[in-house]
Chains A and B, each alone.
Chain A
């Protein structure tokens, strides 16, 4: 087996050939941050165009490419890889494993991602431009009417799908086979639980996405008619296939975020997580329900009333396990010895704003009401409350929480707090007014709008610039911490933090738990 006690290899090839879960986690995190900046740049172009009514900066076709690439890059390039990176770093340390179960596959699942996104971004410079059919790429917009670059888009989706599937298989194999003795399933930290369930969702639905783009490929190049009415196919079929993937996908994004805040809130409340078992069951219930609600994205396609009712009630049912989670987080804080360091601030921000996003989701689930909200800015506001304030805030909290453990240096707390408040205020200025313009009828994905929406749109754009700028502060804070942050040597960086990762030295050594840890019999989940 060779000598396990060496450090990382030297030079650039350390990163190319590494099979170390911490190295790969770090690469995932940096890659996702780069994609976050890229997708954010696209968002800034969108908001700059919408700053005033009328066509200001870009061509309508280019605007459509921006909305499309913003969505694709943020979902598949920023949020998903960031949580995979966090899983790579934390899961082995949390369950007392020396590394991931399949380290070489781990290397491979990371390294096929950058080429996929390079290919996707390169479509911007191709004849006919980048994909311009929205991140949901509905046929026939994405087949009959798509730019030739759509083929590159399809291949990029295939590659990142393979990456996600390999990453998830690795996580499941690790959690199922490499837990330290005594670490039973119901003792696993909640972050591990949410990732285990997420990984199962990914294995089940990423192939469905691959199937959808494969059918597109066949319609475009091989003369089939899956989605072409002229040949006996049906464009609505595309929406069913897409959302059969797409709805579990939104839980793939949010469940690890739930897991991360479930680690952070107890640490800064100095109390164990309230209702651990119910959290696990609620996560599983959400995952199950996510498979039977997909058509609530397509209430307006002309479904039978029975179908609308089924999907409406099934969707509303999701509010129950989600409510259990919110209740448990609040109960964890109840009468806790709270302190408000940056990770806790982002977690509370997550809790408040995600709940707002959940409520607008409940509004959207009501089939008759949805006919008004469908494809308006109300939907945009809703999913940014759950994606940005949900997933991104939680991810940011996780970075602040575990960064000192990763690099042995403490970030600048004041700068972190400023980052939180600027983000929180900027985010709300951006997206809260979009509820109003949406209810008033402003359609999404359009580069121009009626004059009565001008004030709210200007507000939104200003908020977006504030939110965007605050992420530069975040980048600076993280780099400054790694380069010159105040050294931390305490194993438990945070006095209230519980879990195996906090029993390791700080910074976490290159190899950890080569000998499985002995679990304190009194040790429960954290």
Chain B
């Protein structure tokens, strides 16, 4: 067998140390990216794509109507007002739909928020395409200001037929401290 040292015990130690270091690296370079890739590819955990979707076909399936529900939640300690303009829409797969969410910053400070989406049932996530979403970017808002935040989405025609209702939930996080004042002052 391949020997790294004349002393067999030292040889064993070097090989095992390599395994230990490799396993430490494995967490960062394999487990974390693989988890994210799997979640994106399979749409598990209700994660939707973080990037804008470009429509591939304009065909609209009028035979099916899907109910889309909107939920807006503030993460703990987030003082903003945050709500959808409508809580429910009836849409056809393939059609482009528009709606907005309202946000208001009741504090006197400039703040930055990040909305994190989640789809239920989670297997519908990969069929829920967003062509425009306020969740793609961090949302700065000056003190005591309000904003309309647009959302445009298309439901894929390949959505499993037994899915008739999709709930899109946004949780709004305060990321002011994470991004610093540069964005807040923008």
| A and B together in one complex | yes
C-alpha spacing A176/B16, complex, angstroms: 12
B151 in the interface, Cβ–Cβ < 8 Å?
no
Interface residues of A in 163-188 (CB under 8 A from B): 165, 168-169, 172-174, 176-178
Give the size range of A's interface with the partner.
35 or more
A316 in the interface, Cβ–Cβ < 8 Å?
no
Chain A residues in 8 Å Cβ range of B26: 207-208, 211
Chain A residues in 8 Å Cβ range of B21: 207
Beta-carbon contact of B24 and A210 below 8 Å: yes
In the assembled complex, how far is the CB of residue A286 from the closest CB belonging to chain B, in whole angstroms?
19
Beta-carbon contact of B32 and A208 below 8 Å: no
Known: A205-B23, A244-B31. A169 touches B173 (CB 8 A): no
Chain B residues in 8 Å Cβ range of A102: 9, 13
In the assembled complex, how far is the CB of residue B23 from the closest CB belonging to chain A, in whole angstroms?
4
A304 in the interface, Cβ–Cβ < 8 Å?
yes
**C-beta contact mask, A95-122 vs B, less than 8 Å → 1, else 0?**
0000001100100000000000000000
Known: A177-B9, A203-B16, A304-B42. A212 touches B27 (CB 8 A): yes
Beta-carbon contact of B178 and A230 below 8 Å: yes
In the assembled complex, how far is the CB of residue B54 from the closest CB belonging to chain A, in whole angstroms?
22
Chain A residues in 8 Å Cβ range of B27: 207-208, 211-212, 214-215, 241
Known: A176-B12, A203-B19. A211 touches B44 (CB 8 A): no
C-alpha spacing A461/B17, complex, angstroms: 45
Chain A residues in 8 Å Cβ range of B178: 223, 225, 230-231
Residue among A173, A204, A303 having the largest count of chain B Cβ atoms under 10 Å: A173
In the assembled complex, how far is the CB of residue B81 from the closest CB belonging to chain A, in whole angstroms?
18
C-alpha spacing A517/B28, complex, angstroms: 47
Beta-carbon contact of B31 and A230 below 8 Å: no
B interface secondary structure, majority: helix
A206 in the interface, Cβ–Cβ < 8 Å?
yes
Give the size range of B's interface with the partner.
35 or more
C-alpha spacing A292/B185, complex, angstroms: 49
In the assembled complex, how far is the CB of residue A337 from the closest CB belonging to chain B, in whole angstroms?
41
Known: A230-B178, A236-B45, A304-B122. A207 touches B24 (CB 8 A): yes
Interface residues of A in 284-304 (CB under 8 A from B): 302-304
C-alpha spacing A382/B75, complex, angstroms: 35
Known: A208-B27, A230-B75. A303 touches B20 (CB 8 A): no
Beta-carbon contact of A234 and B24 below 8 Å: no
B96 in the interface, Cβ–Cβ < 8 Å?
no
Beta-carbon contact of B175 and A230 below 8 Å: yes
Interface residues of B in 103-131 (CB under 8 A from A): 114, 116, 122-123
Beta-carbon contact of B19 and A234 below 8 Å: no
Chain A residues in 8 Å Cβ range of B171: 229
Interface residues of B in 1-40 (CB under 8 A from A): 8-9, 12-13, 16-17, 19-24, 26-28, 31-32, 35-36, 39
Give the residue name and chain of the A residue nearest to B120 (CB).
A302
In the assembled complex, how far is the CB of residue B73 from the closest CB belonging to chain A, in whole angstroms?
12
Interface residues of A in 216-253 (CB under 8 A from B): 223, 225-226, 229-232, 234, 236-237, 240-241, 244
Beta-carbon contact of B175 and A231 below 8 Å: yes
Known: A230-B175, A236-B45. A204 touches B12 (CB 8 A): no
Chain A residues in 8 Å Cβ range of B116: 229-230
Residue among B16, B19, B39 having the largest count of chain A Cβ atoms under 10 Å: B16
Give the residue name and chain of the B residue nearest to A105 (CB).
B13
C-alpha spacing A79/B156, complex, angstroms: 54
In the assembled complex, how far is the CB of residue A198 from the closest CB belonging to chain B, in whole angstroms?
14
B46 in the interface, Cβ–Cβ < 8 Å?
yes
Beta-carbon contact of A303 and B44 below 8 Å: yes
C-alpha spacing A173/B17, complex, angstroms: 11
Interface residues of B in 166-184 (CB under 8 A from A): 171, 173-175, 178
B50 in the interface, Cβ–Cβ < 8 Å?
yes
Beta-carbon contact of B45 and A302 below 8 Å: yes
Give the residue name and chain of the A residue nearest to B18 (CB).
A203
In the assembled complex, how far is the CB of residue B168 from the closest CB belonging to chain A, in whole angstroms?
16
Residue among A169, A174, A223 having the largest count of chain B Cβ atoms under 10 Å: A169
Interface residues of A in 111-170 (CB under 8 A from B): 165, 168-169
C-alpha spacing A304/B122, complex, angstroms: 8
Beta-carbon contact of B173 and A230 below 8 Å: yes
Beta-carbon contact of B16 and A230 below 8 Å: no
Known: A172-B12, A206-B20, A304-B44. A234 touches B75 (CB 8 A): no
Beta-carbon contact of A172 and B24 below 8 Å: no
A169, A174, A205, A234: the one within 8 Å of B35 (CB): A234
Give the residue name and chain of the A residue nearest to B31 (CB).
A241
C-alpha spacing A105/B178, complex, angstroms: 42
C-alpha spacing A204/B26, complex, angstroms: 10
Chain A residues in 8 Å Cβ range of B32: 215, 226, 237, 241
C-alpha spacing A302/B118, complex, angstroms: 12
C-alpha spacing A102/B11, complex, angstroms: 12
Chain A residues in 8 Å Cβ range of B44: 302-304, 307
Chain A residues in 8 Å Cβ range of B50: 232
Beta-carbon contact of B42 and A211 below 8 Å: no
C-alpha spacing A302/B44, complex, angstroms: 8
B9, B19, B47: the one within 8 Å of A204 (CB): B19
Beta-carbon contact of A211 and B123 below 8 Å: no
C-alpha spacing A231/B115, complex, angstroms: 10
Beta-carbon contact of A237 and B23 below 8 Å: no
14 contacts between A and B (CB under 8 A): A102-B9, A169-B12, A169-B16, A169-B17, A173-B16, A178-B9, A207-B24, A230-B114, A231-B175, A232-B50, A234-B36, A234-B47, A237-B35, A240-B31
Interface residues of A (CB under 8 A from B): 101-102, 105, 165, 168-169, 172-174, 176-178, 203-208, 210-212, 214-215, 223, 225-226, 229-232, 234, 236-237, 240-241, 244, 302-304, 307
Interface residues of B (CB under 8 A from A): 8-9, 12-13, 16-17, 19-24, 26-28, 31-32, 35-36, 39, 42, 44-47, 50, 75, 114, 116, 122-123, 171, 173-175, 178
Top 5 A-B residue pairs of the complex, sorted by shortest distance between their CB atoms: A211-B27, A230-B173, A207-B23, A207-B24, A101-B9
Given A101-B9, A207-B20, A302-B46, 18 more pairs with CB closer than 8 A: A102-B9, A169-B16, A172-B16, A176-B12, A177-B12, A207-B24, A208-B23, A208-B27, A208-B31, A223-B178, A230-B175, A231-B114, A234-B35, A234-B45, A234-B47, A236-B45, A240-B31, A304-B44
